[in-house]
Amino acid sequence: MEILETAAALQTLTETWRREGRRIGFVPTMGALHEGHLQLVRTAAAENDVVVVSIFVNPTQFNNADDFKFYPRTLESDAALLQGTGATVIFAPSVEQMYPRTSVVRFDFGPLERVMEGAKRPGHFNGVATVVSKLFHLSRPHQAYFGQKDWQQVAVVQQLLADLSFDLKLVSCPTIREEDGLAMSSRNRRLRPEARAVAPRLYEALQLTAAALREGLSPGEAQQKGAEWLQQFPDIELEYLEVADAQTLQPAWAGPSAEQPLVICLAAWLGGVRLIDNVLVDGE
C-alpha cells in the first residue's frame, strides 16, 4: 500500500488505472480512523478493483479554529489500520497541495444547508463541497463511499454529483456503533472518561424519539420528548434535535410513511467535544 502526497502523483496513477479499465473506489476521510472508516474501505474493496483512501484534515470546512487545531492527526497509525482492508493507495496531501491558491468558488445548496449542520456551522458545506470536488477530480472514482452518520453531508454530496454531473456513484453505508450504541467518530477519542460514559445517551434519545413517532406522536411532539429526556444529563449540551424529511431535510409535519421516511438528527456538546448522530425512521 503506497502513500502519495502530491495531487499530480494521484492524478497520474488514477488516469493509468482508468486506461487499464480498472474500477476505482474512493473513501474520503480526515484520518483518525476507526472501524466505521475501515468498513467503508472493505466495502469499496469488495466492489472495485482498486481503492483510494484520502486522509486530509480540510481547513475550509471548519468554522471553529480550535476544532481544526485539535482534530487528531494520526497518519502513521491510520496507515497501519488500513493494512489488510483492501486499500490500494493512501492520499495524504498537505494543505498547500489541496489549496495552492485561495479558493474563491462558493457553493450554495439552498434549503439542504439552511438547516441543522448548515445553520449551526455557516460555510461548512461550502468547504465540504470544495474539497470533495477536488478529491473527485484527482481520484477519478467510479464509486465513492460515505458513512450515514453524516446524513446531511451525504445529501449535500448527492446534490453536488447531480448538479455538476460527476460521473460516479455515491454509496452510503450504515453507521457503525460501539457496543453501547455510541456512533463511531474520530472525535470520540477526545472525550474525557466522564463524557464518554454519558455519550451513549445521545443514541438513546434518538431511539426514544423514533419510538414516539412509531407510537403516533407528531414529529414536533416526538422531537420535544427526545430533547426533554436529554435534559436530565447536565453534561450534555444539546445543540439541536430535529425530525426531518429524510430526503429534503426540511422539518417534518407528519409521521413516517413508506413514501416519506423521516430522519432524526442531533448535535450535542460533551466536555468541549461536538458529536452528531442520526437514525432513519421508515413507515410500517
Q: Which residue is catalytic, options 37, 124, 137, 142?
A: 37
Among 40-44, 99-103, 274-278, where is mean pLDDT lowest? 99-103
Task: Say if residue 260's pLDDT is above 90.
Answer: no
Q: Which residues contact 277 (CB under 8 A, 6 or more apart)?
A: 149, 175, 183, 202, 203, 206, 265, 266
Amino acid at 209: T
Please check if 25 is assigned to a binding site.
no
Sign, Cα dihedral of 60, 65, 67, 71: positive
Q: Which residues contact 129 (CB under 8 A, 6 or more apart)?
A: 107, 109, 156, 157, 160
What is the Cα–Cα distance from 128 to 29, expressed in whole angstroms?
11
Q: Which phi and psi (to 5°) does residue 143 adopt? A: -140, 140
Res 186: pLDDT: 92
Confidence tier at 71 by pLDDT (50, 70, 90): confident
Q: Which CA distances in Å does 189 have to 71, 109, 192?
A: 10, 31, 8
Please check if 184 is assigned to a binding site.
yes
Please check if 150 is assigned to a binding site.
yes
Res 255: pLDDT: 83
Please check if 34 is assigned to a binding site.
yes
Residue found by looking up cell 479558493 in the block = 103
What is the Cα–Cα distance from 64 to 67, expressed in whole angstroms?
5
Please check if 1 is assigned to a binding site.
no
Task: Say if residue 64's pLDDT is above 90.
Answer: no
Identify the three-state secondary structure at position 188. helix
What is the Cα–Cα distance from 46 to 201, expressed in whole angstroms?
34
Of 187, 178, 206, the C-alpha closest to 271 is 187
Q: Which residues contact 203 (CB under 8 A, 6 or more apart)?
A: 177, 181, 182, 183, 277, 279
Taken in order of first residue, the domains within the chain and their CATH numbers are 2-173 (3.40.50.620), 186-276 (3.30.1300.10)
Of 65, 79, 64, the C-alpha closest to 29 is 79
Contact 212, 223 (CB under 8 A): no
Task: Say if residue 284's pLDDT is above 70.
Answer: no
Please check if 148 is assigned to a binding site.
yes
Please check if 165 is assigned to a binding site.
no
Strand 143-147 and strand 2-4: pairing?
unpaired
What's the whole-number mean pLDDT along residues 199-212? 98
Q: Which CA distances in Å does 163 have to 24, 171, 205?
A: 22, 17, 35
Please list the residues that pair with 53 across neighbouring strands: 27, 90
Please check if 187 is assigned to a binding site.
yes
Task: Say if residue 24's pLDDT is above 80.
Answer: yes
Task: Say if residue 172's pLDDT is above 90.
Answer: yes
Please check if 61 is assigned to a binding site.
yes
Q: Would residue 37 show up in a list of annotated catalytic residues for this protein?
A: yes
What is the Cα–Cα distance from 66 to 72, expressed in whole angstroms?
12
pTM here is 0.95
Please check if 143 is assigned to a binding site.
no
Please list the residues that pair with 62 across neighbouring strands: none
What's the whole-number mean pLDDT along residues 150-170? 97
What is the Cα–Cα distance from 55 to 1, expressed in whole angstroms?
14
Contacts 24+ apart (CB under 8 A), 104-108: 105/130, 107/160
Task: Say if residue 278's pLDDT is above 70.
Answer: yes
